[in-house]
Amino acid sequence: MGHRRPNKVTQLDIARLAGVSQSTVSRVMAGDPKVEPELRERVLQAARLHSYLPDARAQSLRRRESGMIGLVIKRPRGGLAGDAFFSNLIGEIMDRLHDAGSRLCLELVHGDENEVSVHEALLRSKRVDGVILVESVVHDSRLELLQRDRFPFVLIGNPMRSHVWSVDNDNVAAGALAAEELIRSGYRRIAMLAGPPGITVSEDRILGYSRALDAAGMPCRIWHSDFGIEAARLVAEEALAGPMAPDALVVLDDLMAMGVVLTAREQGLRIPDDLGLVSFNDTHLCHVLERGLTSVSLNIEALVREAVDCLMAQIRGEGPSEPRRILVPCQLKRRGSSAPLPRGEEALR
């Protein structure tokens, strides 16, 4: 046993074996209808016999498209870890892409360090035909680069001032939805546990939260935390201490909400009686809490469907040429963590 590379069989080999020219093989493989049926059969048989398969690299070099699309997820190192939201997203994208006949090249970006180099490695080097970007900071330098180079891409997230194709939840509405649920349930000191400053999802939900509280004549109180269960737990420790601590929290995602749950437990706070909770993403985590965690469902399937369709249209050069921002509606899943308070004073309502 020796040879490193297997199957060095090429189109030319098949051609010889079938007694035709290489271009005929090419035509047969491409399904060209104007090939004599007899020749076609000879070729197909030879191809099958030697289990020939076209070289994807040569193909994409020639026909100038790789049949791959890139997925770039921006998260701090280890930030993907354990977040079911991304499993969902990736799974959904894969299924959708499979139907479109493309494969996926996954890329993780941690900080600002390599965001540009990723853009280069993936796009300018023509490794992929287009890119889906997930999440963004408020001012994302990649967008300008991609735009300048006229590269097919779609952002899953809020493009802010950039005029690009994007698909997003209406996170302002979502933030308001979450806050209103708590207001309606009778909580009085409703704070928000947000993500790191500058993350658009976070900022948008903060905005929605703020508007809802303003409208109800209640004061806003906002804490920022890094992603992840542990970071949130620590910030919650601070937030939930003291006599003026909030009696309800809008939390940026389910994972962080679990951090809050841990702290609440430590401090002997019962949910929802001592602390109301609403979060986002509606992952499996929501079912795990004793009486369930109220969460805003993002409708990932629709999000992905829109994003992939939009990207594919760009790649094919179809569709309206003007970038558009597509909004996918959210939906509140009401569960026990935001149930109406059984306090005496609530009887007045």
Q: In a 3-state reduction of DSSP, which class is residue 296?
A: strand
Name residues whose C-beta falls within 8 Å of residue 94's C-beta, 6 or more positions apart in sequence.
104
Instruction: Please answer whether residues 341 and 186 qualify as being in contact, where contact means their C-beta atoms are separated by less than 8 angstroms.
Output: yes
CA distance 305 to 95: 10
Q: Which of 62, 148, 161, 349 binds DNA (CB under 7 A)?
A: 62
Binding of residue 39 to DNA (CB under 7 A)? yes
Instruction: Please answer whether residues 275 and 236 qualify as being in contact, where contact means their C-beta atoms are separated by less than 8 angstroms.
Output: no
Q: Which of 16, 50, 54, 90 binds DNA (CB under 7 A)?
A: 54
Q: Select the binding partner of residue 138 from a copy of itself, DNA, none (C-beta < 5 to 8 A, by kind).
A: none
Q: Shortest approach of DNA to residue 259 CB, angstroms?
A: 47
Max distance between CA atoms of the chain, in angstroms, equals 91
Binding of residue 135 to a copy of itself (CB under 8 A)? no
Binding of residue 265 to a copy of itself (CB under 8 A)? yes
Pick the piece of the chain touching DNA (CB under 7 A) from 7-15, 136-144, 226-234, 282-290: 7-15
Q: Shortest approach of a copy of itself to residue 149 CB, angstroms?
A: 4
Q: Which of 18, 24, 43, 83 binds a copy of itself (CB under 8 A)?
A: 83
Total binding residues for a copy of itself by CB under 8 A?
64
Which amino acid type is present at position 49?
L
Rounded to 10°, the helix 84-100/254-266 angle is 170
Q: Shortest approach of a copy of itself to residue 349 CB, angstroms?
A: 29
CA distance 324 to 167: 9
Q: Shortest approach of DNA to residue 39 CB, angstroms?
A: 4
CA distance 193 to 253: 9
Binding of residue 30 to DNA (CB under 7 A)? yes
Of 170, 143, 168, 172, residue with least CA distance to 157: 168
Total binding residues for DNA by CB under 7 A?
27
Binding of residue 26 to DNA (CB under 7 A)? yes
Q: What is the DSSP letter of 153?
A: E
Torsion sign across C-alpha atoms 78, 81, 84, 87 = positive
CA distance 35 to 253: 58
| Location of structure tokens 């209640």 | 218
Point out which residues pair with 326 in neighbouring strands: 167
Binding of residue 98 to a copy of itself (CB under 8 A)? yes
Residues that bind DNA (CB under 7 A): 8, 10-12, 19-24, 26-27, 29-30, 34-36, 38-39, 54-55, 58-59, 61-64
Residues that bind a copy of itself (CB under 8 A): 1, 3-7, 51, 53-58, 60-61, 64, 66, 68, 77-78, 80-84, 86-88, 90-91, 94-95, 98, 103-108, 120-122, 124-127, 149-151, 229, 255, 258, 261-262, 265, 283-285, 287-290, 317, 321
